[in-house]
Amino acid sequence: MIVMKFGGTSVEDGKAIERVAEIVGSRGDEKPVVVVSALARVTDSLVTISQLAASGALAEALRLYRQVRQRHFAVLSSLVNGRGETEVRSRLQALFDSLEEVLRGVAALGELSPRTSDNVLSFGELLSSQIVTTAFRARGIDAVLVDSRQLMVTDASYTRAVPQREETNRRLRQSLKPLLTSGRVPVMGGFIAATAEGIPTTLGRGGSDFSAALIGAGLGARKIEIWTDVEGMMTTDPRLCPDARRIDVIGFDEASELAHFGAKVLHPATLFPAVEKNIPVYILNSRNPESKGTCIRARARPSKTILRSIAAKRGVKVVNVRLPRIVAPRPRIVDPQGFLHALFEAFDRHACAADLVSTSDVSVSVAVEASRDLAELVQDLKRLGNVEVEDNKAILCLVGEKLRGRIGVAARVFGVLAGAGINVHMISQGASEINISFVIEERDIPEAVKQLHADFFAERAGDPQRVAKRTTRGGAVPRQSNGSLANATRAGL
Ligand code: ASP
Ligand code: MG
């Protein structure tokens, strides 16, 4: 069997759901379990609606609620036009009635507990799975709606509940195996679950990938497909570099490093249950089902190129903290060890996550998201030393399994950047040794990405001549000591 998960954009309207039906319809012999997200943006709307209700703005909350309701009914009508519509309409209506009741309760109490929030958010996937099942059946797919709240068992940590794997697996096998054996197609809402007592929970925002991985792992799927609206992972952001290519296969560790800084295709951590069981996970594009997408595996064969991908994260600030050289009057913390400890404690206190850190005994640079208001943190840090915040920075993150233990890559990277006149502010090589990250000026990102991509991805391993010939038209180019073809070309060789 396989798991096919369709994200919000893949089920955003009638047309999108029709494409999904076509994709699933052609795969019946692979015994798919289908997992769906809420219609695009619905979970966000439910968050807003419940917060409005809690803050006393019930009328506004209900106005938005009606829009959401209208959208779902419109999508349903576009898919079934008449056939068996009344029955499904009344099922949707029942869901909307209970949602309205919960919202009125929230407004009456003037409070939104995490437990109630999960209850409200669960409606997104309850509705979408109902609609998708109906659309499948109207197109001849023998689909069965399966209530995820009855199979996916979690603890009671609402908004980010932790799955109870054994009990979940037992229920998954018990309920889904017979359906699959008889050739039926189970459809489940992702993201939602329930406690053993049956109280609805969610697995955290974006959690339907996690659902897919849990279901795939629990049933021993041959593969898991995550259908979205992009071609998969790329060698870099195609908006920055038109030469960016789709990555065929990537290792789980590499994908995890990239996800931190790169485009948010998906969060690989949520795929862990699958990867742990060695089940390959494919990222595919529901708008272009022919494309092969990207396969994430526990162990991917090494890339031909030294790097697997280059990710850029803009909107970064760097906080520099320096221990004062002459300590008078003596600050509370002076020893380097205590300094680091106090420093990270301050970041922790202000819930400010560090993206990149580089340290010496007496100074520390921490790159953080620029959207954060740092005023209070800075005030706090001033107890430790001199603080300076630099704006308009960006992080470049180079990832590749082949970086491990490889000599000379850093020299090559910084050679390329030096050649382009790009200044590097901070450098860090992750403990995993499969990533090199550094901070540069935000405005240098396009040039840096272009140059590095040209240098590292033009070359196929074992065949440097091919690139040389293609790029220079005039025969092979002698490689420079830093190995940078980009530099060689720029130098007019
Ligand atoms: N609908 C949920 C969310 O938007 C879960 C998901 O889409 O994965 O967070
Ligand atoms: Mg999503």
- Checking if the pLDDT of 474 tops 50, the result is no
Summarize the confidence of residues 79-94 as an average pLDDT.
Answer: 88
Using the structure block, give the residue that is written with the tokens 């209506």. 93
Rounded to the nearest angstrom, the distance between the alpha carbon of 108 and the centre of ligand 1 is 27
User: Residue 430: what pLDDT?
Assistant: 74
* pLDDT, tens digit (0-9, with 9 covering 90-100), for 433-450: 899 999 999 999 999 999
Summarize the confidence of residues 142-168 as an average pLDDT.
Answer: 98
Does residue 124 have its Cβ closer than 6 Å to ligand 1? yes
Does residue 8 have its Cβ closer than 6 Å to ligand 1? yes
CA angle in degrees (0–180, nearest 5) for 143-139-24: 60
DSSP states along 151-166: H-EE-S-TTSPPB-HH
- Between the ranges 251-255, 337-341, 377-381, 405-409, where is the mean pLDDT highest? 377-381
- Checking if the pLDDT of 351 tops 70, the result is yes
As a whole number, the mean pLDDT across the chain is 89
Summarize the confidence of residues 31-40 as an average pLDDT.
Answer: 98
Rounded to the nearest angstrom, the distance between the alpha carbon of 218 and the centre of ligand 1 is 21
User: Residue 85: what pLDDT?
Assistant: 82
What residue owns the CA closest to ligand 1's atom 8? Answer: 206
* pLDDT, tens digit (0-9, with 9 covering 90-100), for 199-210: 999 999 999 999
Does residue 218 have its Cβ closer than 6 Å to ligand 1? no
Q: Which residues pair with 101 in a beta bridge?
A: none
Ligand 1 atom closest to Cα of residue 204 = 9
Does residue 160 have its Cβ closer than 6 Å to ligand 1? no
Question: What burial letters (b/e) apply to 228-260, b meaning 16+ CB within 10 Å?
Answer: bbbbbbbbbbeebbeebebbebbbbbbbbbbbb
Confidence grade of residue 478 (pLDDT, cut at 50, 70, 90) = very low
Q: What is the spatial distance between Cα 368 and Cα 375, in angstroms, rounded to a whole number?
A: 13
Does residue 205 have its Cβ closer than 6 Å to ligand 1? yes
Task: Judge contact between 204 and 193, C-beta under 8 A.
Answer: no
User: Residue 264: what pLDDT?
Assistant: 62
User: Residue 207: what pLDDT?
Assistant: 94
Rounded to the nearest angstrom, the distance between the alpha carbon of 472 and the centre of ligand 2 is 45
Does residue 207 have its Cβ closer than 6 Å to ligand 1? yes
User: Residue 11: what pLDDT?
Assistant: 98
Between 40 and 271, the higher pLDDT residue? 40
- Checking if the pLDDT of 72 tops 80, the result is yes
- Checking if the pLDDT of 465 tops 80, the result is no
Between 486 and 319, the higher pLDDT residue? 319
What share of the chain has pLDDT > 90, as a percent? Answer: 73
- Checking if the pLDDT of 344 tops 60, the result is yes
Confidence grade of residue 488 (pLDDT, cut at 50, 70, 90) = very low
User: Residue 266: what pLDDT?
Assistant: 72
pTM of the model: 0.84
Ligand 1 atom closest to Cα of residue 203 = 5
Task: Judge contact between 309 and 233, C-beta under 8 A.
Answer: yes
* pLDDT, tens digit (0-9, with 9 covering 90-100), for 224-269: 999 999 888 999 988 899 999 999 999 998 988 887 776 566 777 7
DSSP states along 330-371: PPS--SHHHHHHHHHHHHHHTT---SEEEE-SSEEEEEEETT
DSSP-assigned letter for residue 434:
S
Rounded to the nearest angstrom, the distance between the alpha carbon of 224 and the centre of ligand 2 is 16
Which of 205, 227, 283 has most ligand 1 atoms within 8 Å of its beta carbon, as the pocket-test mutant?
205
SS3 34: strand
Ligand 1 atom closest to Cα of residue 44 = 4
Summarize the confidence of residues 363-380 as an average pLDDT.
Answer: 92
Burial class (CB in 10 A: 0-12, 13-18, 19+), 170: middle
| Ligand nearest to the backbone CA of 44 | 1
* pLDDT, tens digit (0-9, with 9 covering 90-100), for 415-434: 999 999 999 999 988 777 89
Rounded to the nearest angstrom, the distance between the alpha carbon of 226 and the centre of ligand 2 is 10
Confidence grade of residue 18 (pLDDT, cut at 50, 70, 90) = very high
Between 178 and 363, the higher pLDDT residue? 178
Summarize the confidence of residues 393-397 as an average pLDDT.
Answer: 95
| Ligand nearest to the backbone CA of 46 | 1
* pLDDT, tens digit (0-9, with 9 covering 90-100), for 305-331: 999 999 999 999 999 999 876 555 555
- Checking if the pLDDT of 451 tops 90, the result is yes
Rounded to the nearest angstrom, the distance between the alpha carbon of 451 and the centre of ligand 2 is 33
Helix (H) or strand (E) holding 188, with range, is strand 185-189
Q: What is the spatial distance between Cα 438 and Cα 309, in angstroms, rounded to a whole number?
A: 14
Rounded to the nearest angstrom, the distance between the alpha carbon of 51 and the centre of ligand 2 is 20
Does residue 189 have its Cβ closer than 6 Å to ligand 1? no
Task: Judge contact between 7 and 41, C-beta under 8 A.
Answer: no
Nearest to residue 265, comparing CAs of 235, 297, 226, 223? 226
Using the structure block, give the residue that is written with the tokens 């680091």. 340
User: Residue 326: what pLDDT?
Assistant: 54
